[in-house]
């Protein structure tokens, strides 16, 4: 499989581009994800023409439409940033990114809870970095996260799952056939169910309405709905439900002992005694043993490379 393309705040890759000439190298980004990802680095402040080092900046004014101003000399850098941004977003559109990892807290790159100062100089942590906001408005379906939030195992697993879904969807669009679309939905059935049980049939109805003229319209509708569904993180209850559904698929073939073994492992997962990887590995073993073609294609059983060990912690 080719590497996925992800946008990233340049300082997270260890490049000395910050206002003080330093970096914010992130271990997960550089040491773990790099094996699977081709990075498209963006440092809005440096790339729009500001020097390194430079005066530190902050957001001031209206929370929804703040200005980017230097801390000591009060120089308004908003016009400079905005005129660079529109061309940069056009450029990024051509990159076919599958997601983006932003540097948290930055007035340019922060995705959530960025400080915005009011006229009295009092900050409220309700803003979004000026570039991050424009990026998310331009690419509303693209999975985005901040490096700090990725320390949370559930958020991390959810984000990585979504970037791989995005990648597989790009292949469907490239192929441009009804069968690629139908197969995509079939393969993601249990993954979708782990986020929202009713969404599987809702999305299935969109696929079932396919005819000779509406492929692109339904693909747009389907993918918008899918990305919304996947943003909601699966919980233990929903995982247990999916695991039981998968087991039900080959219940008739399992021996009494095998059935007991799976049920025990699902119960231990439900109680928080073992991570998700254990019941999933066991089910994968029986999928292979009983040669279940339909389950072999299920993305839920292998949503991202095992080397990332994401399900060892959820």
Give the footprint of ligand SF4 on this chain (CB under 6 A).
9-11, 17-18, 43-46, 103, 106, 108-109
Nearer to ligand SF4, 8 or 32 (CB): 8
How many Cα neighbours within 13 Å face the side chain of 44? 30
Q: How far is the CB of 67 from ligand SF4 (least distance, A)?
A: 16
* Peptide bond before residue 53 is cis, with ω within 30 degrees of 0: yes
The distance of closest approach from Cβ of residue 82 to ligand SF4 in the complex, given in angstroms and rounded to an integer, is 14
Beta strand 37-42 pairing with 4-9: parallel
What's the min distance (Å) between Cβ of 15 and ligand SF4? 8
CB of 106 to ligand SF4, least distance (A): 3
Task: Tell me whether residue 46 or residue 195 sits nearer to ligand SF4 (CB atom).
Answer: 46
CB closer to ligand SF4 out of 112 and 298: 112
Nearest distance in Å: CB 138, ligand SF4: 17
Question: Least separation, in Å, of the C-beta of 41 and ligand SF4?
Answer: 8
Q: What is the C-alpha separation between 180 and 279, in angstroms, rounded?
A: 29
106/298 with CB nearer ligand SF4? 106
Q: Which is nearer to ligand SF4, 18 or 195 (CB)?
A: 18
DSSP 97-162: -SEEEEPTT-TTT--SSEEEE-TTS-EEEEE--HHHHHHHHHSTTS-EEETTGGGSHHHHHHHHHH
Phi-psi map region of 121: left, alpha, beta (phi>0 left; psi -120 to 50 alpha): left
- Nearer Cβ to ligand SF4, position 100 or 164? 100
Backbone angles phi, psi at 213, to 5 degrees: -120, -15
Q: Which is nearer to ligand SF4, 45 or 145 (CB)?
A: 45
| Cα–Cα nearest to 163, from 2, 4, 3 | 4
Q: Are 150 and 308 in contact (CB under 8 A)?
A: no
Nearer to ligand SF4, 108 or 200 (CB): 108
Smallest gap, in angstroms, from Cβ of residue 142 to ligand SF4?
17
Look at phi and psi of residue 26 and say left if phi exceeds 0, alpha if psi is from -120 to 50, else beta.
beta
Which helix (H) or strand (E) segment holds residue 293: the answer is: helix 293-296
Q: What is the nearest approach in angstroms of ligand SF4 to the Cβ of residue 93?
A: 19
Exposure b/e, 182-205, CB count within 10 A at least 16 = b: eebbebbbbbbbbbbeebbeebbe
Sign of CA dihedral 89, 45, 29, 224: negative
Bridge-based pairing of strands 4-9 and 144-146 is: unpaired
- Rounded least distance, CB 171 to ligand SF4, Å: 30
Cβ proximity to ligand SF4: between 29 and 283 the closer is 29
Nearest-angstrom CA–CA distance, 52 and 250: 61
């Amino acid at each position: 499989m080719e590497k996925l393309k992800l946008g990233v705040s340049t300082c997270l890759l260890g490049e000395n581009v910050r206002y003080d000439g330093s970096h914010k190298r992130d271990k997960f980004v550089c040491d773990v994800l790099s094996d699977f990802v081709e990075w498209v680095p963006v440092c809005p402040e440096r790339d729009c023409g500001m020097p390194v080092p430079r005066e530190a900046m902050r957001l001031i004014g209206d929370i929804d439409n703040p200005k980017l101003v230097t801390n000591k000399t009060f120089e308004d850098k908003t016009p400079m940033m905005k005129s660079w941004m529109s061309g940069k977003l056009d450029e990024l559109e051509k990159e076919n990114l599958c997601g983006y990892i932003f540097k948290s807290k930055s007035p340019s790159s922060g995705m959530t809870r960025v400080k915005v100062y009011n006229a009295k100089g009092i900050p409220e942590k309700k803003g979004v970095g000026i570039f991050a906001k424009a990026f998310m408005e331009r690419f509303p379906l693209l999975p985005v996260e901040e490096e700090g939030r990725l320390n949370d195992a559930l958020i991390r697993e959810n984000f990585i799952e979504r970037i791989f879904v995005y990648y597989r969807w790009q292949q469907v669009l490239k192929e441009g056939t009804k069968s690629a679309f139908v197969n995509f939905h079939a393969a993601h059935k249990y993954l979708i169910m782990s986020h929202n049980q009713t969404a599987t049939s809702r999305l299935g109805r969109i696929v079932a309405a396919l005819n000779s003229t509406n492929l692109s319209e339904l693909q747009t509708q389907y993918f918008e709905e899918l990305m919304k569904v996947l943003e909601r993180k699966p919980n233990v209850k929903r995982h247990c439900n999916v695991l039981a559904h998968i087991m039900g698929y080959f219940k008739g073939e399992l021996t009494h002992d095998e059935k007991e073994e799976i049920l025990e492992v699902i119960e231990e997962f439900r109680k928080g005694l073992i991570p998700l990887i254990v019941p999933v590995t066991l089910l994968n073993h029986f999928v292979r043993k009983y040669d279940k073609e339909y389950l072999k294609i299920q993305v839920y059983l292998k949503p991202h490379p095992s080397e990332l060990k994401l399900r060892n912690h959820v």
